[in-house]
Structure 1
Amino acid sequence: MPRGSHRSSVSASADAELLLPRPPGVIRQFWARHPLLTDILVTLIGLLIAVATAVSDWGWSGGVRVVEVVATVIAVAAAGSLMLRRRWPLIPFILAIVMLITLLGSPSAAGSPFLTIPMYAVAVYGSSRLCWIAYGVGTGAIALAGLVGLATTAVTLQNAINGLISAAVAGLIGALVGINVGNRKRYLEAVIDRSRQLVVERDQQAQLAAADERARIAREMHDVVSHSLTVIVALAEGASATPDIERARGAMDAAAGAAREALTEMRTMLGVLRDGDQDAPLAPLAPVSPHDVVAAAQRAGYPATLVVTGSADLPESTRYAVGRIVQEGVTNAMRHAPSATSIRVLLHEDADATTITVRNDGAEPATGPGGFGLRGLAERVAHIGGTFAAGPDGHGGWELTATLPMPEADPLTEIEEPQ
């Protein structure tokens, strides 16, 4: 599978794992866009419930007692702290528990549903685990306070039972609703975070694909243009240097032929690049023949020879790589070793690997930075699992060697059908 296709399949599978929930309605969208208004409204509702519960006991016993005033103050504080529930959800919860414990000593036996709101806040803005811990600790504290009040006769049995039941029911309702909403909220946050990661990964993949495409185009352009122009320049210089008109005409005809071949190959390559299909081949359809490369160098007046040993049925990709390696090696010798008396191309084919050696005895080629030739060859050879080396041979010449392994055969194709 091509590398680009693998990246797309990974992104597609990641997208498939994101189960998007149903979009919120108009009312929920309104409250989500106005969090301050939501906080004020929730606080006012909580204040109404808490204060109404606290002041309902005023005058029950013929006057206002200290415990009733304290309970009212705590109720106001608990309701006001609901403004902090998004960041510190435990603050209104703790104040609500303190208020409910204080109300155990009131003359009436009325409970309060106020605990529903802070319990909901703990579940939504905290976690499910924190919610259940707070619920257990809160109801346990109210039960313990009721027992202590019964022991000291500060709390009646009816008040203790009503206070515990109302707190347990109100807290349970807030916990169940809040856990459901909180889980959905946390899932949405995870989906949004994953979506952002996918956007980053997509951008990175696009950058890598663009870099691969630039390298691919540069390599193909270099292979076509460099060799063809080198041959054309050599033929043109030879034509201008010879006094023989027939030889000059022949050299110019050869240069024109090389130019036409280059144009044809360029059109083929551009057709492949313009296709835009990720599965398109990285090379023109027809492999470059090593014999044609050497023949072109000979027509340009260079002492190039080709020796082929062994025989193997090479696949298309290997034959194309062989042609490009020979082309680049001969072109480098023509450009950088004009005084060479020998440019030898050795091609050995067997069942395991193909070895290409291009050796010249002229001056060592320039090794300045920025060239695409040798670097492109190294990338091409590495792409098919081969080895590549180029450098001085120690005798005043230059040697380029590449070894291309034979692709492994599909084991299914090697199974013979039963007779």
Structure 2
Amino acid sequence: MVHVDHVDQVEPLTQHIQRISRRVRAFDRRHPLLWDLHLTGFWVTAALIDYYGGGWLNVARDRDNPGWLILTLSLGLSVPLLRRRTHPRAVLLAIAPFALVSAWTGAALQAVLLQLLVVFHIALRRPSRNLWWATALITTPIAVLAARHPQGTPDRDIVPVLMSIAVAAAIGITVRTRRDHTEALEDRARRLEIERDQQAQLAAAAERARIAREMHDIIGHNLSVITGLADGGQYAAAKSPERAAQALQAIGTTSRQALGELRRLLDVLREEDHPHDPHPELTPQPTLTDLDQLINGVRAAGLPVTTTIHGTPSLPPGRQLTVYRVIQEALTNTLKHAGPGTTAAIELSYEAKGAVTATVTDTGNGGPGPTHSTGGRGLPGMRERTALYGGTLEAGPRPHPDQGWRVHLHLPEEPQQ
């Protein structure tokens, strides 16, 4: 319990410090010159207080230096800090002569420690090799001070300075590493966001294509059946009113089925856009067990169809839907383009491990229509469905001397998991 209380007390303080730190950095990014003026003014004031207050006399090796020299050295060691972030090497070179004079005269001003701020910015913003000559530039005046105004052994002056330089450089390198790591994470987050948007766009495009295929299959097939029934009913109206009535009844049934399928598709789309709405009425997608109903509808529209089946069907729902839609599209195209007196034949061969072959042929002479070519949605839709399972689809005129059209679908075996 004590440990938990300690954590509860520390976390808000840490968050408070982080929030203040973010605000300071944000202010610094917006007003860099103003921040530099304030910080430089602070160190200039500290150097002048050291001069006017006589604090420099407590560490001086020679107290007989004139006041104007001490004032000049104090300003020379502090004012250049204004450019420490943008030109740290130039600032260190500008301060070096004042540090050397301070050591030569024995003034030994504490303001020379401001060079450590410049070392920090060199480690933060410049290549690491710059730290070597910076260290040599800073330790040279200390060596001069130890030689001209000795106070104990030389290492008493040089070692603390070297340790201070190492600490300043280590802090700069640590901050730089953390900054680079943060920037890398932010860049990765941006790239992931872009990739996520691209994936969303690709998914939306694929969904639009899927919806277009479904609507094409539903509307195209049912309208073709209705057109065939209407033509047959019109022909039979004068000779057989009963056949005409049957055709009208079949038109009504087919129309209601088409409207029902479209309504369910639109309900699913509405559910995806509004996930909090009540669940729409959902029905399974067509399977191979629905082929008889499909073929009966085509026969009622005036197209004789024969079927030949080899093997026993044992396909997953996705493959069944692909075979169903390809057969549906092929029969729809026959109704639309094959011409009068046409017959159609369907041959299905079920093989092992989910492989299947479906061939739809007709004896029409109406020539290829828009959906037989690459300009419509029929053939591209069939190819897209087939490609999902690594299959092949061939569609074209039957070889001479046969006439009509042939659609051949082959789905290979399912890959082993």
Shorter-normalised TM range: 0.7 to 0.9
What pairs up with 1:4-23 in 2 under 5 angstroms?
none
1:18 aligned partner: none
Query: Helix, strand or coil: the match of 2:107?
Result: coil
2:307 aligned partner: 306
8 A Cα contact 2:44 2:75, kept in partner: no
Distance (whole Å) between structure 2 residues aligned to residue 166 and residue 96 of structure 1 = 20
What pairs up with 1:24-43 in 2 under 5 angstroms?
25-35=18-28, 36=32, 37-43=34-40
Cα 1:170–1:143 shift into 2, 3 Å: closer
Matched, 1:238 2:232: yes
Query: Helix, strand or coil: the match of 1:366?
Result: coil
8 A Cα contact 1:329 1:400, kept in partner: yes
Distance (whole Å) between structure 2 residues aligned to residue 172 and residue 100 of structure 1 = 19
Matched, 1:355 2:357: yes
Query: Helix, strand or coil: the match of 1:306?
Result: strand
8 A Cα contact 2:37 2:82, kept in partner: no
Query: Helix, strand or coil: the match of 1:188?
Result: helix
Question: What are structure 2's unaligned runs of at least 5 residues?
Answer: 1-13, 276-281
What pairs up with 1:335-374 in 2 under 5 angstroms?
335-339=336-340, 341-351=342-352, 353-362=355-364, 363-367=366-370, 370-374=375-379
Query: Helix, strand or coil: the match of 1:391?
Result: strand
8 A Cα contact 1:60 1:108, kept in partner: yes
Distance (whole Å) between structure 2 residues aligned to residue 99 and residue 50 of structure 1 = 13
8 A Cα contact 1:306 1:345, kept in partner: yes
8 A Cα contact 1:54 1:103, kept in partner: no
Matched, 1:382 2:387: yes
1:8 aligned partner: none
Cα 1:22–1:94 shift into 2, 3 Å: farther
Cα 1:347–1:26 shift into 2, 3 Å: closer
- The C-alpha deviation readout for 1:152-188, integer Å capped at 9, x for no partner, is x7x3334976763454344334333333433333333
Query: Helix, strand or coil: the match of 1:157?
Result: coil
Q: Residue 264 of structure 1: which of 260, 264, 269 is its match?
A: 260
Matched, 1:200 2:194: yes
8 A Cα contact 2:374 2:380, kept in partner: no
Q: TM-score when scaled to structure 2?
A: 0.77
8 A Cα contact 1:79 1:92, kept in partner: yes
1:251 aligned partner: 247
Aligned residue identity for 2:90: I
Q: TM-score when scaled to structure 1?
A: 0.77
Distance (whole Å) between structure 1 residues aligned to residue 404 and residue 17 of structure 2 = 75
Instruction: Give 1:203 deviation, angstroms.
Output: 1.4
Cα 1:332–1:323 shift into 2, 3 Å: same
What pairs up with 1:58-97 in 2 under 5 angstroms?
60-61=63-64, 63=66, 71=73, 74-75=76-77, 78-82=80-84, 85=85, 87-97=86-96
1:5 aligned partner: none
- The C-alpha deviation readout for 1:6-65, integer Å capped at 9, x for no partner, is xxxxxxxxxxxxxxx968544323322322332212222343456677995899435479
- The C-alpha deviation readout for 1:272-311, integer Å capped at 9, x for no partner, is 4445399xxx994342533322222211112322222233
Instruction: Give 1:236 deviation, angstroms.
Output: 1.1
What pairs up with 1:104-183 in 2 under 5 angstroms?
104-111=103-110, 112-126=112-126, 130=128, 133-144=129-140, 155-158=148-151, 164-165=158-159, 167-183=161-177
8 A Cα contact 2:120 2:171, kept in partner: yes
8 A Cα contact 2:78 2:114, kept in partner: no
Distance (whole Å) between structure 2 residues aligned to residue 336 and residue 23 of structure 1 = 76
Question: What are structure 1's unaligned runs of at least 5 residues?
Answer: 1-20, 411-419
Instruction: Give 1:213 deviation, angstroms.
Output: 1.2
Distance (whole Å) between structure 1 residues aligned to residue 94 and residue 205 of structure 2 = 60
Distance (whole Å) between structure 1 residues aligned to residue 48 and residue 90 of structure 2 = 18
Distance (whole Å) between structure 2 residues aligned to residue 44 and residue 169 of structure 1 = 27
Aligned residue identity for 1:117: L
Distance (whole Å) between structure 2 residues aligned to residue 26 and residue 200 of structure 1 = 28
Distance (whole Å) between structure 1 residues aligned to residue 165 and residue 408 of structure 2 = 79
Distance (whole Å) between structure 2 residues aligned to residue 390 and residue 49 of structure 1 = 89
Matched, 1:392 2:397: yes
Query: Helix, strand or coil: the match of 1:399?
Result: strand
1:332 aligned partner: 333
Q: How many residues align?
A: 376
Distance (whole Å) between structure 1 residues aligned to residue 407 and residue 221 of structure 2 = 16
Query: Helix, strand or coil: the match of 1:34?
Result: helix
8 A Cα contact 1:115 1:174, kept in partner: no
The percent identity for this pair of structures is 30
- The C-alpha deviation readout for 1:342-378, integer Å capped at 9, x for no partner, is 3222212222521111122323322455522211111
2:11 aligned partner: none
Distance (whole Å) between structure 2 residues aligned to residue 283 and residue 376 of structure 1 = 22
Distance (whole Å) between structure 1 residues aligned to residue 351 and residue 314 of structure 2 = 9
Instruction: Give 1:390 deviation, angstroms.
Output: 1.4
Distance (whole Å) between structure 1 residues aligned to residue 113 and residue 341 of structure 2 = 99
CA RMSD across the alignment:
3.5
